A and B are shown apart, each in its own frame.
Chain A
Amino acid sequence: MRADDTRDRKSGRLVYRRDFLALTAGGTVSGILLTGCTLPGGSPWRFLTPEEASLLESVVDRIIPPDVDPGAAGAQVVRFIDLQLVSYYQAHQETYRRGLAALEQTALRLGGGSFNGLSPEEQDKMLIQLESDDVPAELWSELSSSAFFSLLVDHTMQGFYGPPRHGGNRELVAYQVVGLPYPQILGRVHPPDKEVPRPRSTRVNPAASTAQPSR
């Protein structure tokens, strides 16, 4: 603290100004902070970089490609993986970081361009090479490409077919694809309301059917 601060405090004159200045400065900083907070264009990903996410979308969409129904990318499988990588699958963070980088390098070397820029057939061919460890060894020295591919398949399946609460299976798309009725129709667990007359046939044979719900 400077000497003149003490003097000013004693005189009781500049104190208010100083507080005012501090508030003003604080307000300005807050304003700038909030402006930065609301600037559009922030990455929607928690672990992945936008480039990694884009690459991963292309990969998972070859594992479960779209047809009349959305594929893995449309089902937000990448969102599922990204969410899991900062929670339950933190142990796989480094695998994804290295694996995706190596995949891109492999595409550049073998395919002559970025993986995203390859045709679906070329992407499939590259993923088959990944699965069979038929890739440049120097690019995959720290990680087995087949193990990485296997991990990708596992996580894609989990994200696509798992409950949407985990981040994937957007709008229950997987359940629609496989024809799984959801939410299931489940009768109440309580004794029948005696005040409501049952249909005549129910009184005769109350459990005659094993019919299943349809979609």
Chain B
Amino acid sequence: MFRPKKNSDQEDKPPKKERGRRRRFVFWAAITILVLFGAAVLINAGYYVGSISSGAFCATCHIIRPSVELWQVSTHRNIPCSDCHGSAFTLSVEAQRTHWERLYLQLTGRLPRDVALKDRHVDALNERCIACHQQAGAAWIAGGHSMRYRDVFLNTQQNRSVQLNDDCFRCHGLYYDRGAVTTLVEPIDTTGPWRFRDPAVADRPAIPCLSCHRMHTPGSPAARPNYAEPRRIGQTREAPVHSLAFYDRRERLSVPTRQLPQPRLTDTGRSVTMSPDRRQALCYQCHAPDTSYHVGSGDDRTPVGVHEGISCLACHANHTQDARASCATCHPKMSNCGLDVEKMDTTFRSSDSPNNIHWVRCEDCHRQGVPERRAPGS
């Protein structure tokens, strides 16, 4: 009887029935693993999505737990972490790289001492702040605190008069995290020409929002007053808890204004009357007097003369620092001479004036003697 010869492959193959059973086994094993995998993904995704809004997911990392706890009692408590910090579901290669780096460090036990924002994170956060606070962002851009690294560190006039040094970072580039100023600019001298070692930093904001604001700080979201008692709204309104704080680069810590020191200045031996406004402690961190603590020394602009005792923020808008509306806010009620103060010879009217608006005194205009103060209503 003729029997066809099998090739070697066919000879090695198990019987057809066994092969079918094996394939079914593999098929159902795959289905089982797939179901398990799907369940794991769904549980993770569900847990992530469900807990991201409460911060619970973020709080599972014990290193950032204190930050999460502060956020939970902050003004931004109803805004998910991902709205400011981004989420794991991002197409940003840089963000993904950072996430995997952190996971690797976590799994290998090389935990960072603290989780702190890097300068590139602060840049991204700045944009996200402005995305919601657009009016404040526009005011910041138009004001005197929106300078970029190029405006500060490549300023020829400044660099020729004072050699760049690490202390510049105290107020400019507070979040610069690559080390000394030598890592930022070269050459470090007063002749130049100066250039950035990494040109990508040129347009980075030198004083980003987080220089003066601490997001993770206790506060309440805005709430409507009690309209059942409209006449008492003014008296029962809660004092706003502001986020003002100074970012100390050395400690990588935002110090709230209530903890910041208020200077006690003198004017030729006389103690200057200072405004009790705690907010201006923030201004003094950078617009500071020199070690003599004499008014007008260093970069200090503490008012003396007719404006003594007035807070910086009584005249300067908080984001633009614009003081154009300040005269109309107080004058003429507080004016002693009844003149249009905006037209008087001060630096408010012209930067060429010898009479600085911060320090102008009656004697500056009344060189022959100050007339008697007029009685109210006369």
Residue positions of A touching B, CB distance < 8 A: 3, 7, 14, 17, 20-21, 24-25, 27-28, 31-32, 34-35, 37-40, 42-44, 46, 83, 87, 163-165, 167, 171-172, 176, 181-193, 195-202, 204-215
With beta carbons under 8 angstroms apart, the residue of A44, A163, A199 that contacts B251 is A163
> Is B124 close to A, CB under 8 A?
no
Are B294 and A214 interface neighbours, CB within 8 A? no
Once the chains bind, are B288 and A190 in contact (CB under 8 Å)?
A: no
State whether B259 touches A199 (Cβ < 8 A): no
Q: Which residue of A lies closest to B59 (CB)?
A: A40
**Which of B41, B60, B268, B290 touches A40 (beta carbons < 8 Å)?**
B60
Q: Can you offer 11 A-B residue contacts whose CB atoms are under 8 A?
A: A17-B30, A21-B26, A35-B40, A37-B106, A40-B60, A87-B113, A183-B261, A201-B267, A204-B268, A206-B292, A209-B265
Contact of A7 among B12, B41, B356, B358 (CB under 8 A): B12
Q: Are B294 and A202 in contact (CB under 8 A)?
A: yes
B285 A165 Cβ-Cβ under 8 A: no
- Given A189-B167, A206-B292, A207-B294: A172 in contact with B259 (beta carbons within 8 A): yes
* A-B pairs with beta carbons under 8 A, tally: 190
What band does the interface of chain B fall in when counting residues whose beta carbon is under 8 Å from A? Answer: 35 or more
Residue of B113, B355, B361 near A83 (CB, 8 A) is: B113
Indicate if the CB atoms of B294 and A206 lie closer than 8 Å. Answer: yes
- Between B103, B106, B290, B353, the greatest number of chain A beta carbons within 10 A of the residue's beta carbon is seen for B290
B268, A205: Cβ atoms closer than 8 Å: yes
How far apart sit A100 and B9, CA to CA, in the bound complex (Å)? 71
**B147–chain A nearest beta-carbon distance, Å:** 15
Contact across chains for A214 and B113 when beta carbons are under 8 A apart: no
Of A21, A34, A164, A190, most B-chain CB atoms within 10 Å: A190
B233-269 interface bits toward A, Cβ cutoff 8 Å, 1 = contact, 0 = none = 0000000000000101011110100011111111111
Given that A46-B111, A187-B297 are known contacts, is A165 also in contact with B33, CB under 8 Å in the complex? no
Segment at the A interface, from B205-213, B299-307, B325-333, B335-343: B299-307
**Contact residues of B with A, CB < 8 Å?**
9, 12-13, 26, 29-30, 33-34, 36-37, 40-41, 43-44, 47-48, 56-57, 59-60, 62, 65, 103, 106-107, 111, 113-114, 158, 161-162, 165, 167, 170, 246, 248, 250-253, 255, 259-269, 271, 284-285, 288-300, 304-305, 347, 351, 353-356, 358-359, 361, 363-364
Residues of A within 8 A of B44 (CB): 31, 34-35, 38
Is B37 a contact partner of A187 (Cβ separation < 8 A)? no
Given contacts A44-B65, A200-B359, contact A28 B37 (CB under 8 A): yes
B288 lies within 8 A of A200 (CB): no
Inter-chain contact A190/B161, CB cutoff 8 Å = yes
Inter-subunit contact A39/B297 (CB<8 Å): no
- Chain A residue numbers with a CB within 8 Å of B37 are 24, 27-28, 31
Q: A189-B167, A202-B296, A211-B264 are in contact. Are A31 and B41 (CB under 8 A)?
A: yes
CB neighbours (8 Å) of B40 from chain A are 27-28, 31-32, 35
Additional A-B contact list (19), CB under 8 Å, known A28-B36, A182-B248: A21-B30, A24-B37, A38-B60, A165-B252, A165-B253, A183-B260, A187-B288, A187-B297, A187-B299, A189-B167, A190-B158, A195-B351, A197-B354, A199-B305, A200-B361, A200-B363, A204-B268, A209-B293, A214-B264
A165 touches B294 (CB 8 A): no
A188 lies within 8 A of B261 (CB)? no
A23 to chain B: closest residue by CB:
B37
